[in-house]
Amino acid sequence: MEIEPREITIGELVEGYSDNGEDGVVGYSGQLDIRPPYQREFVYDAEQRNAVIHSVIEEYPLNVMYWAKQSDERYEVLDGQQRTISICQYVTGDFAIKDRDGNRKYFSSQPDNVQERIRRYKLTVYLCDGDHSEKLDWFKIVNIAGKRLTNQELLNAIYSGPWVSDAKPSFSRRKCRAQKISEAYVKANPIEQGLLETAIKWISDGNVDEYMARHQHDENADELWNYFSAVIEWIAATFPKKRDFMPKVDWGSLYAAHKDDDVDPDELEHEIAHLLSLKRPGREGAIQKLPGVYPYVLDGDERHLNLRSFTKGQKIAAYERQEGKCGHCGQPFEFRDMEGDHKTPWKDGGLTTDDNLQMLCRDCNRRKGAQ
């Protein structure tokens, strides 16, 4: 990893500054992507923004900024985006600050000597260059202050290019089309790239880094959108009734494993309703993990449900009732060598109640579970 320290004046930084909204923000004579199209929007509030400008005017040092080198004389802001935009917006007249006397001062209304002091102010910038893995490791190290970048934002910086830029309109704007079709099933912040990360995890089976490296220079992200929308369509068709805990389900894995299953949505809904009816006040044997009902009705694995277990007190009481003997083989065992067992299995309607509890030795319990 090559890291080159450089001093950049505010005058140099603001030269060529342009805010093109959703198409990005550039500066430094057009050589610096201050907010590339995939990055989060400006999030500093007025107090934070004004504090940056007052620090500059008073010639207090600002924190080091980091730029990632994209090509010869082309850079991208890694850390310091909010400070950079604050400075550029002030110098170009987007807002005013209050001076010591409480007067509002735009940059243009500052005395000439103050304007010149601001333009000459030197920012310390580290220019970072290296291969993808080196950049990612370094970016994680420097991402320690201010408005922290998410892991997906770091990957976006590493794999910037036409693919990421094309993905933004669909996944990285407020009220983007991905958010509109998925809000009942996915809770992720599109501005911080959570929705984009979710979509890539689904299509790549969790291998986000690998997928982005492979598609970095693709002209568009159509494949990602088509896959994401297919998952959402499958969810809506398979489980048409919406429930507030659906966003906690790993829909990507379920779609990959069961998208071709021949299922009856009405039968699935009937089974889900039955499972959820077991979780009523005073009713034992209720499932503990409600989102687990969706994978359970597709594959029957009870581990998805995190079923309620017998308490230690219940098991001690049963152990005493059985006089320390296994409920199956009748041999005596220490309490620590026995396990609580549902006489009538949960899948057959047995509840986690005292009258459905028996203590078995480990061997008997294993043999019963294997039947």
User: How far is the first Cα of the chain from the last one, in angstroms, to the nearest whole number?
Assistant: 58
Q: What is the pLDDT of residues 97-125, one digit of tens each?
A: 988 888 899 999 999 999 999 999 999 99
- pLDDT score recorded for residue 76: 86
d(CA 16, CA 9): 14
Q: Is the pTM of this model over 0.85?
A: no
Cβ contact 42:27 at 8 Å: no
- pLDDT score recorded for residue 139: 65
- pLDDT score recorded for residue 43: 64
Q: What is the pLDDT of residues 76-103, one digit of tens each?
A: 887 888 899 999 999 999 999 988 888 8
Q: How many C-beta atoms lie closer than 10 Å to residue 62's C-beta?
A: 16
Q: Is 53 left (phi over 0), alpha (psi -120 to 50) or beta?
A: alpha
- pLDDT score recorded for residue 183: 95
- pLDDT score recorded for residue 280: 40
Q: How many C-beta atoms lie closer than 10 Å to residue 49's C-beta?
A: 20
Higher pLDDT: 213 or 129? It is 213
Q: What sign has the CA pseudo-torsion 307, 312, 313, 315?
A: positive
- pLDDT score recorded for residue 135: 67
Q: What is the pLDDT of residues 319-361, one digit of tens each?
A: 999 999 999 999 999 999 999 998 887 667 677 788 999 999 9
Cβ contact 25:85 at 8 Å: yes
Looking at the chain, the whole-number percentage of residues with pLDDT higher than 90 is 58
3-state secondary structure of 116: helix
3-state secondary structure of 66: strand
- Could you tell me the pLDDT band of residue 277, with boundaries at 50, 70 and 90? confident
Looking at residues 249-262, what average pLDDT do you find?
96
List the one residue out of 252, 165, 171 whose CA is nearest residue 216. 165
d(CA 271, CA 300): 11
Cβ contact 126:65 at 8 Å: yes
